Structure 1
């Protein structure tokens, strides 16, 4: 029996360890993606065994002929703005809580708690909280702001920002946790040296903290962009798409399961995937250019 060299044995070990994850990746990611692209080129209704090939007809309808199918993407801009605000708040709270003041652990738990709560339960609570004469109106009346109450989920001009507020509250803890972890990597001796030199809090944050956690903030901004494009649970459970709050994912599922146009829904899913990849590539390019500058 031939004796394997150390290099050959090392390669065999690496290959054996890669077989399982590559198999899972192929079965649950690559193959479904290939099937999705194939379905987007057909007129399948989700039930019939026949899948007639229609080429790029579905893409042409989504991108050119029926602009209403793309219009829900505009609502993603609201969630992107909310994601930027959420990132700013998470960074602010993370910097404050990293100083280990009395009660910081309690406040960190309170801010992170919404993220671990069930999404369905949280959305249902917000749906009741934002109703007319609901919890928010009662709270505003209690603190003397009753004159500023709105139809939070009935007014088309207000409801989108109400949903953004619910989404920010829901996911703030996740970004807070990531940013707080990134702050632990900031060298404390640099803070001490800057303090001795008389640097202010803002100067220390701008010249020490921000450059150190910038890669993490960039990653979170990418996640916020992807989340804004793929948002579904909050608007679906609170308004079900009423008052022009339908998102692109909701429109895609509507095409597939309500109108039985699975081929069209697959094309919309592929288009959404392309938008997500484009957003990631653009943001990474901008971050790398900023880092080199």
Structure 2
């Protein structure tokens, strides 16, 4: 669930970063509003969404104002069909701004003359993004991927505070915490921590290899184009 959420998170962060990099009206406000959740403590975010999703509380009240009866609404945190997606949405809300700021910084470093040349050649917004922005910020994209995927492997605060891992929402870290503190199986929990470290290192290594392969492919295509 969190792996899928990390992909959605990066896509949204890149979308908002691209839009805000071209100074739209109210851009500074939206930059601050989207980045602010990443400054909030994870425990505080957990408590916010715990009451936000509790049946009969904030979210149900908002949907009730829109004309949806409360008895037709699911138990957001207890329904195993949707509760993991609900927690993933909370995680996306918190961390997307952090990825967005990194993307904005990378896009700001792109040479503006490339946009002017592309406009003269008749390139639209998608062409500018596909052929100018994305290749220029490839390193930051890979960095954000590593951060997002390694973070999805070690999610803890959101499920721990909101559901305490109940109703099928327990993550690797939540299970490791219960083994160490509730069941007093410190050795097993330590072994799980080592396995998690190895998984994160493997993911990082695979992504770095993919980045090198992409770079070599781009260089090869440029050489062919020059010839």
Shared fold, TM over 0.5: yes
- Measured after TM superposition, the shift of residue 133 of structure 1 is 1.6
C-alpha RMSD of the superposition: 1.3
Matching of residue 218 in structure 1 with residue 142 in structure 2: yes
Match of 2:42 among 116, 119, 123: 119
**1:178-189 matched pairs, under 5 angstroms:** 178-189=102-113
Task: Give the count of matched residue pairs.
Answer: 216
5 Å matches for 1:165-184? 165-184=89-108
- The answer to whether the aligner puts 1:191 opposite 2:130 as a matched pair is no
Alpha-carbon distance, 1:145 to partner: 4.9
Q: Which residue does 1:261 correspond to in 2?
A: 185
2-structure distance, mates of 1:267, 1:229: 15
**1:14-51 Cα shifts (integer Å, max 9, x gaps):** xxxxxxxxxxxxxxxxxxxxxxxxxxxxxxxxxxxxxx
Counterpart pick for 1:276 among 185, 189, 200: 200
Task: After superposition, give the CA deviation of every residue in 1:226-267 in whole Å (9 maximum; x if it has no partner).
Answer: 001111000000000001111111111211111112111111
Take 1:193 and 1:274, find their aligned partners in 2: how far apart are those partners? Answer: 46
Q: What is the DSSP-based 3-state SS (H/G/I as helix, E as strand, rest coil) of the residue aligned with 1:151?
A: coil
- Return the offset for 1:151: 1.5
| Structure of larger gyration radius | 1
Match of 2:161 in 1: 237
Q: Distance in 2 between matches of 1:132 and 1:91?
A: 33
Partners in 1 of 2:171 and 2:48 — Cα distance? 21
The separation in 1 between residues aligned to 2:197 and 2:128, in whole angstroms, is 40
Distance in 2 (CA, whole Å) between partners of 1:146 and 1:182 is 46
In the alignment, does 2:86 pair up with 1:162?
A: yes
**Which stretch shows the higher mean deviation, 245-254 or 145-154?**
145-154
Bigger mean CA offset, 200-209 vs 254-263: 254-263
Q: Does 1:131 align with 2:40?
A: no
In 1: Cα distance, 2:7 partner to 2:51 partner? 26
Q: Residue in 2 aligned with 1:69? A: none
Secondary structure of residue in 2 paired with 1:272: helix
Residues 1:82 and 2:5 are matched in the alignment: yes
Structure 1 unpaired stretches of 5+: 1-77
Alpha-carbon offset, residue 141 of structure 1: 2.6
SS at match of 2:22: coil
Specify the SS of the correspondent of 2:78: coil
Give the SS at the match of 2:11.
helix
User: 1:271, 1:291 → 2: CA distance?
Assistant: 30
